[in-house]
Amino acid sequence: MDIGRSTEEQLGVIRSRADRVVPEEELRAKLERARVEGRPLRVKYGIDPTNPDIHIGHLVPCRVIRAFQDMGHTAVLIVGDYTARIGDPTGRNAERPGLSGEQVEANMERYARQLFTVVDESRAELHYQSAWFDALSLDEILRTLASFSAAQMLGHETFRSRLDAGARLSLHELMYPVLQAYDSVQVGADVEIGGSDQLFNCLCGRDLQRAAGEDPQVVVTVPLLMGPDGEKMSKSQGNHIPLSATADEAVGRTMSIPDSLLEQYINLATNWTPERRAEEIVALRSGAHPRDVKLRVAKNIAEQLRGSEEVERAVAEFERVFSRGQAPERIETATVACGEHGVVETLVATGLAASRSEARRLVEQGGVRIDGKRVIDISARLHVGQNRAVVLQVGKRRFREIAGGAPGGG
């Protein structure tokens, strides 16, 4: 245990990243008891193994887990291999197909490698739900279900909204919060960490522990990190920053967030100390240029994913392209037949536009340049030769070098 930290200091560290501590007085009492007795708290976090790839939004609860670990407590990670067969209904307006055991194992192998970039593996327990659910009898299941009422389950916001919309709601989905609660009983959780959308499920854990005669867990929820578009960060939305991102991608995507999200990124996405985060927010509110603060945030996020040398190069490249309006040092090359090509067709063919209509719109709005010169005529053409390449640019960030291949025309 880190006896050098008082209970109030530990609470302050947790509060700096959490949006709810339910109830805070109970957490204070647990932390004080753990400090006096020298017994680490058991801090539970459930892993959804339905996707093998993690983005920086997944690291938000992981930072709280790591904070608990650094204060001497134990991370208890629960792999939801059993509930993956059901699918977490939180925030979903339709059923989610279940996964096979093989899919769960394959996903977890990649997930764990990324998770343990933040969570200290040497101070963590890893449990699979199937260790207890596979052996659960029907009698035990029914007794567990008896601890909850139908009204309580239907009070779940996601369930209620689906019923109100006349959408299908399967009985097995109603069991998800119960199964997650049962995990807490099995591992003797003192604290459960979850996203703000998991509050209902985590509170069910308190109810079931109380029914089992155990000291109920405290629930600590963290805000959901928003993507650059202001919506919840999600791979399916395409607004995420994956842990597999290159330094260029991490810097570029972070710099694209609106200024209104900058404080959230400081608090949730950086691995800065509470003091450093507070300093950056004070500077921002005191008139520091948002772009300068954002660049420091982008550099920190990129450094969590990639080596410092790669990050320094990415930051320098960003400054070159976006601050000074120069072309990147390295531009992806697309080869086309030598001859003339329409700008609209070339934008689509090289992936700079998803469709002809988008390409036309980009040109008409003045967002396209050929060799640095703005093009506003959709009938404009590029002249590409065997020894003559053309640089096609869309907006400030996307470039293609169009090189000539076999003779021809378009």
Higher pLDDT, 408 or 130: 130
Distance CA(339)–CA(373), nearest Å, equals 20
| Mean pLDDT to the nearest integer, 19-34 | 97
Residue 278 has pLDDT above 60, yes or no: yes
Peptide bond into 223 cis (omega under 30): no
Nearest 5°: the CA angle 116, 120, 121 is 70
| Mean pLDDT to the nearest integer, 361-372 | 88
Residue 255 has pLDDT above 50, yes or no: yes
Query: What is the bridge-based pairing of β-strands 218-222 and 20-22?
Result: antiparallel
Least reliable range by pLDDT among 36-40, 63-67, 274-278, 384-388: 384-388
Query: What per-residue confidence (pLDDT) applies to 88?
Result: 59
Residue 330 has pLDDT above 80, yes or no: no
Query: What per-residue confidence (pLDDT) applies to 409?
Result: 46
Question: For 156-194, how does the pLDDT look when each residue is reduced to its tens digit (9 = 90+)?
Answer: 888 988 889 998 888 888 998 999 999 999 999 999 999
Question: For 70-126, how does the pLDDT look when each residue is reduced to its tens digit (9 = 90+)?
Answer: 999 999 999 999 888 766 565 555 555 677 778 888 888 888 888 999 999 999 999
Amino acid at 184: S
User: What's the pLDDT band for 273 if we cut at 50, 70, 90?
Assistant: very high
Query: What per-residue confidence (pLDDT) applies to 99?
Result: 75
| Mean pLDDT to the nearest integer, 284-311 | 94
Residue 4 has pLDDT above 90, yes or no: no
Distance CA(187)–CA(381), nearest Å, equals 67
Measure Cα distances from 116 to 102, 110, 210, 376 in Å: 21, 10, 32, 50
Q: What is the mean pLDDT of the chain?
A: 89
Higher pLDDT, 331 or 79: 79
228 and 204 Cβ atoms separated by less than 8 Å: no
Domains of the chain as residue ranges with CATH = 7-222 (3.40.50.620), 247-323 (no CATH), 333-407 (3.10.290.10)
Amino acid at 83: T
Question: For 192-220, how does the pLDDT look when each residue is reduced to its tens digit (9 = 90+)?
Answer: 999 999 999 999 999 999 999 999 999 99
Query: What per-residue confidence (pLDDT) applies to 172?
Result: 85
Query: What per-residue confidence (pLDDT) applies to 96?
Result: 59
200 and 186 Cβ atoms separated by less than 8 Å: no
Distance CA(388)–CA(370), nearest Å, equals 13
294 and 318 Cβ atoms separated by less than 8 Å: no
Query: What per-residue confidence (pLDDT) applies to 12?
Result: 94
Chain CA centroid to CA 163, Å: 29
- The pTM (predicted TM-score) of the whole model is 0.77
Distance CA(234)–CA(225), nearest Å, equals 9
For 95, residues 6+ apart whose C-beta sits below 8 A from its C-beta are 87, 89, 168, 170, 173
Residue 224 has pLDDT above 50, yes or no: yes
Q: CB 111: neighbour CB atoms within 10 A?
A: 21
Sheet with 191-195: list strands edge to edge: 20-22, 218-222, 191-195, 42-47, 74-79, 124-128
Query: What per-residue confidence (pLDDT) applies to 270?
Result: 96
Distance CA(51)–CA(268), nearest Å, equals 22
